[in-house]
Amino acid sequence: MPMYEFECRQCDHAFEALVFDGEEVDCPECHGHKLKRLLSVPAKPMNQATSLPTACNPKLPPCGPGCCRL
């Protein structure tokens, strides 16, 4: 059940919709079907305690130049 962001090309309304497989989406404002699917970016965690897991193992040396421990 992916959540997608859309922008209606008829009324410029931006909205999110939960889209099931094969389901057609329409604009909640004008009920138009000319929609542009927007690129969604995951939200950043609110604090350090809820940070996303990393691939780095703290017991090993840094994993490379982009390592989060450098």
* Structure confidence at residue 6 as a pLDDT band (50, 70, 90): very high
Whether pLDDT at 49 is above 60:
no
Whether pLDDT at 26 is above 70:
yes
10: Cβ contacts below 8 Å, ≥ 6 apart: 27, 30, 32, 34
Tell me, what's the pLDDT at 31?
94
Q: Cα–Cα distance between 41 and 57 in angstroms, integer?
A: 26
Pair of tokens at residue 33: 């079907």
Q: Which three-class secondary structure string do you get for 11-48?
A: CCCEEEEECCCCCCCCCCCCCCCCEEEECCCCCCCCCH
Average pLDDT of every residue of the chain: 79
Percentage of the chain exceeding pLDDT 70: 63
Whether pLDDT at 68 is above 80:
no
